[in-house]
Chains A and B, each alone.
Chain A
Amino acid sequence: MQKFEKFMGIVCPLGRSNVDTDAIIPKQFLKSIQRSGFGPNLFDEWRYLDRGEPGMDSSGRPLNTGFVLNDPRYTGASILLARENFGCGSSREHAPWALLDYGFRVIIAPSFADIFFNNCFKNGILPVRLEEKTVEGLFAQANGPEALRIEVDLASQQLKPEGGEGIGFEVDPFRKHCLLEGLDDIGLTLQHVGDIRAYEQRRRAEAPWLFFHS
């Protein structure tokens, strides 16, 4: 997993509540052999006027220009601003995979579905819960003529809207550590590189045939 570093990003305001995982990435895309490549089909049913199918080249498809992701103001957005209960529905990780593949690293909402919230951390996405009022304030700014940019600093747990006041947020210390260090299950195991190497060294002496091809 990539280390979660401080960055400045454009905020895309998705003004809907109860956005479910099927809306985030429709079912027909789950047959894929990949964990990446879901980006073009993120919010597929809202984003395009036709029905998307796996393997389709999305670049020439008719866009729903009324959908916020297609608004030129938010091109390159990396922070998604949403309303309550974001990510409800199934437990499948395709939803965070799609968000990540599109380029979102942070999702701000007043509340999240539980499983989705956990899945975000596993995939290097920071979900930030903020008070309803604060979220509404951000919506007002993000919907303005100029796109809103926010600096996200996980280490100090601060969101700094450009030209505005810093907003503090809560995050579980262990998850914060994993994100900052870029650790997933594999990342955690790889913290024991020394032990693995020591084991290999010992084993190489005892059972060299297990290493003869290396």
Chain B
Amino acid sequence: MQPKTLYDKLWESHVVREEADGTALLYIDRQLVHEVTSPQAFEGLRLAGRKPWRAETNLATPDHNIPTRNRDRGIEDPVARTQVETLGANCADFGITEFRMDDPRQGIVHVVGPEQGATLPGMTVVCGDSHTSTHGALGALAHGIGTSEVEHVLASQCLIQRKSKAMLIQVEGKTGPGVTAKDIVLAIIGEIGTAGGTGYAIEFAGEAIRDLSVEGRMTVCNMAIEAGARAGFVAVDEKTIDYVKGRPYAPKAEDWDKAVAWWRTLHSDAGATFDRIVTLKAAEIEPQVTWGTSPEMVVSVSDRVPDPAQEKDPVKADGMRRALAYMGLTANTPISEIPVDIVFIGSCTNSRIEDLRAAAQVAKGRKVAANVKQALVVPGSGLVKQQAEAEGLDKVFVEAGFEWRDPGCSMCLAMNDDRLEPGERCASTSNRNFEGRQGPGGRTHLVSPAMAAAAAIAGRFVDVRELGLRP
């Protein structure tokens, strides 16, 4: 038999029918739903007099514009409140399970799905949100879709799709201490660029990826979209299976054994061919910090802000100049001399328990620097929050001067009231450093949770390895 890639296997097991022109009807096993991109889809369903094809395959939770504090007061912003209430009403009407704001299982959809075992290896997973690629960490085919497609999946359990090309990104060897999943994926994006993965589905592989926990792999797959790919995934291994075991939505008893037997086949066969292969050496990756307004504008913490004068491509040089002007940075400034005003630890990239542990380890017994106006820790879900509190992480953060919040997207995109003021500079564990992403005029530097915590303590970017991993 022809050797297959993991992507081939995931794709082929979900094709309902294929037209002569290559368009396929792809079956969707799980749809995650949030308040921002679903209202018109539900409305469309209602207008057409349709019902969800399999309501129970959908799982909803509000995340984008809910408050992360004073929840007992409800949502003060009327527009946000309407959206969240609309989600609630739609889920009630159409028989869709929803984890509401007062449910401990509520959180960022991409944290909630895997946490519940609602997203499983071998599944096709969609959500009206581009960071759906996160779920690929479990060996699933997962990608973001638009509102009309949300409706299409609700109504038919299918999507009309064309197969992408296959890319393999291998990160070979072992990473050094203090280098995390976030640094790996930022280094990858630095290497291939934000359009490097356009038209591809990316499989992340190699020793450094295998060495990552499943949560770390989620961080990597989460940012596949920032590399231009709608989907990114990692082969299933024993870590994946251990991760899934016992979760509320995970298969049980005989189903479990049957599932595991299939999941163990979810890897690319030896000799499978890819349209493109990219190789990175893990040992060369250092803690990363973005300096510009695109995730590909990234350097190591020991580097300096790049100089547009050194860039030969005039278009690129121009883009760099614009980014530097927006970011309020001067070329050749050492990254470690850039002070920060705000620190944000959260988002679907880095708000799981291991992220919070990594940040707490750095923060423990230390104090947030006086020049840092605000340092926020926003857990990815209510259950992450509970777990962190059970481990005493909340106390570590609060004693160090961080604010400990309720779960949601928060300052990742500033749809609620957690946002940067114009000109404020933020060390953020989120995934997008676009202009205005964290608030109009706000300046975002993407880093790992440990690096964000280190920046909070030092009041500037600092190599977390200098602080030492233990206090």
Residues of A within 8 A of B (CB): 1-2, 31, 33-36, 184-186, 189-190, 192, 195-196, 199-200, 203, 206-210, 212-214
CB pair A185–B148 under 8 Å, yes or no, is yes
- Complexed CA–CA distance, A2 and B25 (Å): 23
B29 at interface by CB-CB < 8 Å = yes
Counted as pairs of residues, one from A and one from B, with CB atoms less than 8 Å apart, the total is 81
Secondary structure of the A side of the interface?
Answer: helix
CB pair B40–A208 under 8 Å, yes or no, is no
- Nearest CB of chain A from residue B83's CB, rounded to whole Å: 6
8 contacts between A and B (CB under 8 A): A35-B40, A192-B17, A196-B16, A196-B53, A206-B262, A209-B120, A213-B57, A213-B249
- Nearest CB of chain B from residue A32's CB, rounded to whole Å: 8
- Nearest CB of chain A from residue B64's CB, rounded to whole Å: 13
Q: Which residue of A has the minimal Cβ distance to B15? A: A199
CB pair A189–B86 under 8 Å, yes or no, is no
- Nearest CB of chain A from residue B415's CB, rounded to whole Å: 13
B284 at interface by CB-CB < 8 Å = no
**Interface pick from B213-221, B250-258, B289-297, B443-451:** B250-258
B200 at interface by CB-CB < 8 Å = no
- Nearest CB of chain B from residue A210's CB, rounded to whole Å: 5
Additional A-B contacts beyond A196-B16, A208-B255 (9; CB < 8 A):
A1-B48, A33-B82, A189-B152, A189-B156, A196-B156, A207-B258, A209-B120, A210-B120, A214-B57
Using Cβ atoms and an 8 Å threshold, which residues of chain B touch A212? 251-252, 255
Q: Which residue of B has the minimal Cβ distance to A34? A: B43
Given A35-B43, A212-B255, check contact A185 B17 (CB 8 Å): no
Q: Which residue of A has the minimal Cβ distance to B40? A: A35
Most chain A CB atoms below 10 A, which of B39, B40, B86: B40
CB pair A214–B54 under 8 Å, yes or no, is yes
Using Cβ atoms and an 8 Å threshold, which residues of chain A touch B53? 196
- Nearest CB of chain A from residue B167's CB, rounded to whole Å: 27
CB pair B27–A196 under 8 Å, yes or no, is yes
CB pair B82–A192 under 8 Å, yes or no, is no
- Complexed CA–CA distance, A190 and B53 (Å): 10
- Complexed CA–CA distance, A206 and B251 (Å): 13
Q: Which residue of A has the minimal Cβ distance to B38? A: A33
| 7 nearest CB pairs, A to B | A209-B251, A33-B39, A209-B255, A35-B43, A199-B16, A35-B40, A189-B156
- Complexed CA–CA distance, A189 and B23 (Å): 12
Q: Which residue of B has the minimal Cβ distance to A54? A: B79
- Nearest CB of chain A from residue B457's CB, rounded to whole Å: 41
CB pair A186–B79 under 8 Å, yes or no, is no
